[in-house]
Amino acid sequence: MSFEFIKVNPQYAKHIALIELNRPKELNALSRQVMLEIRDTLKALDEDDNVRVIILTGGEKVFAAGADIKQMADATAIDMLNIDQFSTWDQIKKTRKPIIAAVSGFALGGGCELAMTCDMIIATETAKFGQPEIKIGTMPGAGGTQRLTRAIGKVRAMEMVLTGKFISAEEALQYGLVNRIVPAELMMHETLGLAKQIAAQSPVAIKLAKEAVNQAFNSTLDEGLMFERKNFYLTFASEDQKEGMAAFVEKRTPEFKGK
């Protein structure tokens, strides 16, 4: 796979794919082309049986400084409606395999939203998160008001969205926005470690479990519990569940095949 603004390695490690944003002069600003490339890549990786986990990073200097302001500065509301740029973001949400964001440096506006659309976030000490759209006369449009609020709570999200202030990696960890903080030079090593742990599990169970966790944001507790129960039962239709439990009984490491 070859693109202009992202680098893709479908076999970064066994069963693990890597997507790296590659628009350094613009601090990885998420132009429509960048988002189309991410969308097409995620769709392909989601369909690739060799891939079990996807890592998304901007590299060590910057994750992404948001949607491309220059591209939308003169747009009318109807231009925005017709361009429908956020439909490309829906693919990220639709991706059934786990996506881990490895965030170093700025993750602002659409960059923060992109990280939050992923399933987990590994941050480096230099990571800074923010929704600064208010400072340019607009507001978050790719999920910032919804995902940030769910992740860190109303009053913190309100302050970030209404003032545009950035939070440090430490604050992000304290607020529950990121999984952990690692030194920048260990970012990929640590992210890969997490990806490997997930890639070693049953891909069937992983997909069903991810879907069930996400259901928590879209349903009442009773609906969510019922959804979880059905997915739990469904794992018993898989060879992986038989293999996993047999391996436990036989005191050996299971070999999951995604079937």
Q: Which residue carries 């992986």 as its tokens?
A: 240
Site string for ligand CAA, 20-39 (x = CB under 6 A): ------xx-x----------
Least gap, CB of 49 to ligand CAA (angstroms)? 32
CB 116 within 8 A of CB 151: yes
The reply to whether 141 sits near ligand CAA by the rule CB under 6 A is yes
Residue 126, number of CB atoms within 10 A of its CB: 19
Q: Which residue carries 């590994």 as its tokens?
A: 122
Supply the residues annotated as catalytic. Answer: 67, 110, 113, 133
Query: Residues 132-141, buried b or exposed e (16+ Cβ, 10 A)?
Result: bbeeeeeebb
Tell which one of 37, 119, 133, 228 touches ligand CAA (CB under 6 A): 133
Least gap, CB of 143 to ligand CAA (angstroms)? 8
The reply to whether 105 sits near ligand CAA by the rule CB under 6 A is no
The reply to whether 106 sits near ligand CAA by the rule CB under 6 A is yes
Q: Based on CB atoms, which residue is closest to ligand CAA, 27 or 54?
A: 27
Q: Tell me how many degrees the CA angle 112-118-123 measures, rounded to the nearest 5.
A: 60
Tell which one of 17, 34, 55, 65 touches ligand CAA (CB under 6 A): 65
Q: Could you tell me which stretch among 8-16, 62-70, 95-103, 200-208 binds ligand CAA (CB under 6 A)?
A: 62-70
| Cα 8 to Cα 19: distance, rounded to the nearest angstrom | 5
**Footprint on residues 113-132 left by ligand CAA (CB under 6 A):** 113, 132
The reply to whether 80 sits near ligand CAA by the rule CB under 6 A is no
Q: Based on CB atoms, which residue is closest to ligand CAA, 44 or 134?
A: 134
Q: Based on CB atoms, which residue is closest to ligand CAA, 41 or 88?
A: 88
Contact footprint for ligand CAA (CB under 6 A): 26-27, 29, 65-70, 106, 108-110, 113, 132-133, 136, 140-142, 144
